[in-house]
Structure 1
């Protein structure tokens, strides 16, 4: 058992099931690690999409996940967000939140946001309205747009607009944005919900070189304030943002380290980079 596992298990023993009042709040990261995936296995019709996968993400970390098609990257994110239940293993958010006991909406409320490869925004609404809807959460669209947000919420939206560089597009319908701007808006919609962990799937697919550069700047700016997991195939982009890289292969971690370390790992070259 490694140090991270021992630490989490120690907290579970100290704060047992009957000591809820003394537990740290959901998403507590006072001991540095925000996500624990331990021995996660998932099978689909006999195919092992994840095979005893163990992975840890630290609070404020920017982690890049790479690997060939079928390596288990999407299934891993599905497990984290509650879309897929594993056959075995454990998944914890912070020190005390068992992700495997929560529904998808509960996981989102706990502080995990996911951005899919294809942007999903309300194209008939303005950029500002999209962010207002994100802040409001699960309220009805029309009642949300008819009810003004409070000053704290509006201040937060203004900060998000600045972060994703869409201040001058606030009154533009989302459907009129470029592909890259839609991607940034969706990231902004996640930020509006103030997640602790963001899962970002292939953010630069289909972007112009200028949009790719801006996306790199955006994700780098989020690290530290949030934990960010980026799944990406574009190795030039990965190199531009990577602090630590995890390589998945056949449902488990093949290699982990700096971008130079993984690019020079013979196993990684053989199964992925040599393609």
Structure 2
């Protein structure tokens, strides 16, 4: 065989074997049920390979995991979840290493205070996966905790004007932050289960609340329909500010980036 053909054959054979071999799913070291949980990992190790079970833009209340996702999950070395939020998901049982960071709180990640408390537990879980990274992870942990204080101060400043007037929310995803910031939550038009709105009486009550609390904001969630808030804005005499926040983002967004993006939304939409 001529030398050139021999070289081509050497290059082609491995490629053909790759194309004809059974598809093998590459496994991520870490799996997270929700993108913000992956964002917490990214604060501690921005090179960590994290797989999110919830695809970008998917409804966290109505989705089914695909077989490939289940296979990847089984191969991961750590699953990070928040069972108060993802408890209804059809997760495969018996993953060997699960860190449930908020079993008793919904949307804990919107609260800098709650994030500050949970980051050391995530860092410890990552150190167990790779003890050689202990020094680096502990250093990043200290930086991440400092960032939570800075983010907290920015939220306090951004929400200062509604501490007296309050907010009406479509979905309770940001309620924990509002409580932390001492912002009155006048009403929530949708329960924690997506799509379960409270009906016309809640709308009427919210309309009265708007008239009684000039300066109150309407807060939408990017992942939910906000028809009720649109109706309130159209029927209120107060012309309230209507702000849209995003509680989920995507798997590549670190927690501090998620918070800063939402702070930017508050700044731009006021």
Question: Which TM-score bucket, shorter chain as reference?
Answer: under 0.3
More strand per residue: 1
Larger radius of gyration: 2
Higher RCO structure (Cα 8 Å, ≥6 apart): 1
Report the TM-score, using the length of structure 2 for normalisation: 0.27
Report the TM-score, using the length of structure 1 for normalisation: 0.27
